[in-house]
Amino acid sequence: MEATALSLLLVVLLFALLGSGVWVAFALLGVAMVAMALFTQAPLGQVLATTSWGSSSSWALAALPLFIWMGEILFRTRLSEDLFAGLAPWLTRIPGRLLHVNILGCGIFAAVSGSSAATAATIGKMSMPELIGRGYDRRMAIGTLAGSGTLGLLIPPSIILIVYGVATEESIARLFIAGVLPGVMLVLMFMGYVVLWALLNPKRVPAAAADVAWSQRIVGLRRLAPVVLLIAGVIASIYLGIASPTDAAAVGVLLSLVLSWLSGTLTRASFVASLMGATRTSCMIAFILAGAAFLSVAMGFTGIPRRLAEGMSALELSPHMLIVALTIFFVVLGCFLDGISVVVLTTSVILPMVEAAGIDRIWFGIYIVLVVEMAQITPPVGFNLFVLQGLTGDDILAVARAALPFFVILLVAVVVIVAFPELATWLPARMAAAG
């Protein structure tokens, strides 16, 4: 059977399983078993056992539950309140004023959470009542939260970058560092759009309050200091080579517990809740990774990736045309699957094409995260849209319309890193040279 026909058959089977409500991991395993049983002579049971064990026993994967637990611990502290109170005094003179709290707050929380949905939910619970109560434009408040919530996927320590690193056997430390400059760029692009919007729509922004005393700003900085130092310590220890991502995650968990204790929010109930939340999320991701690893091996036995890569090479697409085609593909796929599922589902098939086109794998990791971020605010299954719908009670289409400008900004960000790939590759190259 031709590679195109076989891959089409397997794709139809996969979407049929997903559409029936089967868990993503079971759907991946089911498609892999069908491919192995019908189109190869390989021993299915042995391959399944060795692949599942191999995908689950990676030391790099140990960083995943630790970073998730760190985010769960801090999710239950007064972090969101401290972020709002600490940032607000410094933003009263910038056009858009407190709308920037959503962007900067999400950027900071993203660095301790690693999760897009957790970032949007945590900052949204605190900021939305404040912004709406002070008379800020509801649509823009929702839009800034929808767009900035996606920063949880990119700013290290990012859960999805860990998943990509494990799936591609790429350095997680280098992927983390690669996400720093694009993450900062996105924060600045979001803030720039809000400034421009506020200048063009001055009547939709409440009047500035009285000047904030410097003493209040310094107090605000004191409330921000613990979490900022935690973020800086985790990222710097990885960048400077002092600790591996797993070691840094373990220290981050310990410091998060200390921070929670000092804030008075560490109780037996919150500790158990954070541990169980991290366990559930980690098990879900590990199960998906095992299914994806088996599917990758099954695809290797069928020869589909190699033949598709050869077919793509025969089309003689330029690297830029390949990126355009992949962007459309990932956004459409992201309308139906969450980001982690998109990454693990497509890696085995897409990576040979990417390598054949001479595209850097570290750069491609940042690119794929940016495109998955776009999918997070794309209906019908943009996870951030559902989170904000639950927070605001607004219709999903209204939330999607509010998020549309930020979808366009993410698209522009993709164009920028395609035009200037050094944004994603310069820091990892420096790190490699220093090591």
Domain boundaries, the chain: 3-434
Cis peptide before 380 (omega within 30 of 0): yes
pLDDT value at position 18? 66
| Predicted local confidence at residue 364, as pLDDT | 93
What integer pLDDT is reported at residue 248 of this predicted model?
82
Q: What's the pLDDT at 337? A: 65
Tokens of 90: 């410094």
Token pair for 28: 């991946």
Confidence (pLDDT) at 102? 83
Identify the pLDDT of residue 1: 47
Neighbours of 241 (CB within 10 A): 11
Residue 413: the pLDDT is: 93
For residue 388, give both structure tokens.
């904000």
3-class secondary structure per residue, the chain: CCHHHHHHHHHHHHHHHHHCCCCHHHHHHHHHHHHHHHHCCCCHHHHHHHHHHHHHCCHHHHHHHHHHHHHHHHHCCCHHHHHHHHHHHHCCCCCCCCHHHHHHHHHHHHHHHCCHHHHHHHHHHHHHHHHHHCCCCHHHHHHHHHHHHHHHHCCCCCHHHHHHHHHHCCCHHHHHHHCHHHHHHHHHHHHHHHHHHHHHCHHHCCCCCCCCCHHHHHHHHHHHHHHHHHHHHHHHHHHCCCCCHHHHHHHHHHHHHHHHHHCCCCCHHHHHHHHHHHHHHHHHHHHHHHHHHHHHHHHHHHCHHHHHHHHHHHHCCCHHHHHHHHHHHHHHHHCCCCHHHHHHHHHHHHHHHHHHCCCCHHHHHHHHHHHHHHHHCCCCCCHHHHHHHHHHCCCHHHHHHHHHHHHHHHHHHHHHHHHCCHHHHHHHHHHHHHC
With a cut of 50, list the residues of the chain below it in pLDDT: 1
Predicted confidence (pLDDT) per residue in 111-131, tens digit = 766 667 667 777 777 778 778
pLDDT at 294: 80
> In the prediction, which pLDDT does 43 show?
82
